[in-house]
Amino acid sequence: MKLTSLAFALNAFNLAAAWPTFDIWSRGSKTPGLEGFALDNPIGPTTGGKGAKPITVTSADELLTAVRGDTPKIIYLEGEYHPSGRLRPGSHTTILGKGKGANIIGEGISLINATNVIIRNVGIRFVTGDDGMNIQNTMRVWVDHCEFESQISLELGPDYYDGQLDIVRASDWITVSNNYFHDHWKVSLVGNSDVLREVDIGHLHITYHHNYWRNLGTRGPAGRFGHQHIYNNLYEDFLYQAIHSRSDNQVLVEGNKFIGNTPIALDTYGLVIPEDSPNTCVCGDEELDGFANLGAKNDFGKSLVNITQVGDFTKAPYKYSLTPLKKVEKVVRENVGLGKIKV
């Protein structure tokens, strides 16, 4: 976020203080703070449960029930939830953690065959048996100001936890912004198999901006068959490939900063390292290379950039505000994760 737009946003919040509590939609027809593919796409802006009367859920069972179905709904979360199973939100849903943010522990969220979902100010932690969040065959999603956390250890290995935020099966028009991803091995997989070309090709348009990725293994993100616009992210300490583009996938990478021990910032080479895909042979898994395009200057630090193919995704098809590279680290650190938005 540019400082000018930050000042504007703060101003807007002050103005909004006298407005009805939690009515964050009345400021305009657009969703405030949203940019990228979840805003500008052929279907229309992501608005979640806009227009619905907000409810607050206080127990995990209530939460599991409240998110289901396709009628518009705005669901506020408060405190900590330990659900007995995965959340399965239907279409036209907004899930918002109040105040300092709400946390869902042990079980994650699956968005399957849905459209128009917003999830903000929610921590998703220590999910086992499946991904933290999994988005399948779902259009228009905004994941913003969330925090994803598990544990990274060489003893547990890459498969103890699954992905943190996996986006698969022709999902499309998604923005992932201002999130804090940390302490995890396989972070964000886009397109989960090279044999799903027919399913995925032409989909998987995702904007990743102003996220903080720290102490992770791989996949920040790793994309197949789609287009990901990756700007103004802060990367710190990745064991293997941070951004990986393969199987004809295209990434547009701009204004990102890489610090700490991150050997490989960006790689389009189709060889999936064994640690990324441990179910394959120890030699890794060979597939077609991807494409990478560099937009506004990145600060790759000491990290390797291995671009085997430059593609034609050289410009994002929408307006967005690029934070100057010098300010990226500070702006991202100050704005990511929970408790940073007024809810």
Subset of residues 266 to 285 that bind ligand NAG, contact rule: CB under 6 A: 267, 269
- Is 52 among the residues that bind ligand NAG (CB under 6 A)? no
For ligand NAG (CB under 6 A), the number of binding residues is 9
**Secondary structure (3-state) at 60:** helix
Nearer Cβ to ligand NAG, position 15 or 304? 304
- Is 264 among the residues that bind ligand NAG (CB under 6 A)? yes
Which backbone phi and psi does 327 adopt, to 5 degrees? -100, -5
Nearer Cβ to ligand NAG, position 151 or 308? 308
- Is 172 among the residues that bind ligand NAG (CB under 6 A)? no
- Is 309 among the residues that bind ligand NAG (CB under 6 A)? no
Q: What are the Cα distances from residue 43, in Å, to 29, 168, 252, 273, 327?
A: 15, 19, 22, 36, 33
List the catalytic residue out of 140, 219, 224, 246. 219
Which backbone phi and psi does 239 adopt, to 5 degrees? -70, -45
Give the end-to-end CA distance of the chain in Å, rounded to a whole number: 19
Q: Is 224 a catalytic residue?
A: no
Nearer Cβ to ligand NAG, position 104 or 114? 114
Please pick, from the candidates 193, 308, 309, 321, the single residue that binds ligand NAG as defined by CB under 6 A.
Answer: 308
Distance CA 169, CA 5 (A): 35
Report which DSSP code applies to 326.
H
The string over 242-261, giving b where at least 16 C-beta atoms fall within 10 Å of a residue's C-beta and e elsewhere, is bbbbbbbbbbbbbbbbbeee
Stretch that binds ligand NAG, among 23-31, 245-253, 262-270, 279-287 (CB under 6 A): 262-270
- Whose tokens are 């206080």? That residue is 58
Stretch that binds ligand NAG, among 12-20, 31-39, 304-312, 334-342 (CB under 6 A): 304-312
Q: Is 35 left (phi over 0), alpha (psi -120 to 50) or beta?
A: beta
For 18, the token pair is 């006298």
The answer for residues whose C-beta is within 8 angstroms of residue 10's C-beta and 6 or more apart is none
Nearer Cβ to ligand NAG, position 197 or 327? 197
Q: Shortest approach of ligand NAG to residue 252 CB, angstroms? A: 20
Nearer Cβ to ligand NAG, position 79 or 263? 263
Nearer Cβ to ligand NAG, position 33 or 89? 89
Subset of residues 192 to 251 that bind ligand NAG, contact rule: CB under 6 A: none
- Is 306 among the residues that bind ligand NAG (CB under 6 A)? yes
Q: Shortest approach of ligand NAG to residue 293 CB, angstroms? A: 17
Nearer Cβ to ligand NAG, position 27 or 88? 88
Subset of residues 77 to 106 that bind ligand NAG, contact rule: CB under 6 A: none
Amino acid at 318: Y
Stretch that binds ligand NAG, among 151-159, 216-224, 280-288, 300-308 (CB under 6 A): 300-308
Which backbone phi and psi does 60 adopt, to 5 degrees? -65, -40
Report which DSSP code applies to 54.
P
- Sheet containing strand 257-259, edge to edge, reads 80-81, 102-105, 122-125, 147-149, 180-186, 212-218, 234-238, 257-259
Stretch that binds ligand NAG, among 96-104, 138-146, 216-224, 261-269 (CB under 6 A): 261-269
Tell me which residues are annotated as active site: 219
Residue numbers at the binding site for ligand NAG (CB under 6 A): 112-113, 137, 264, 267, 269, 304, 306, 308
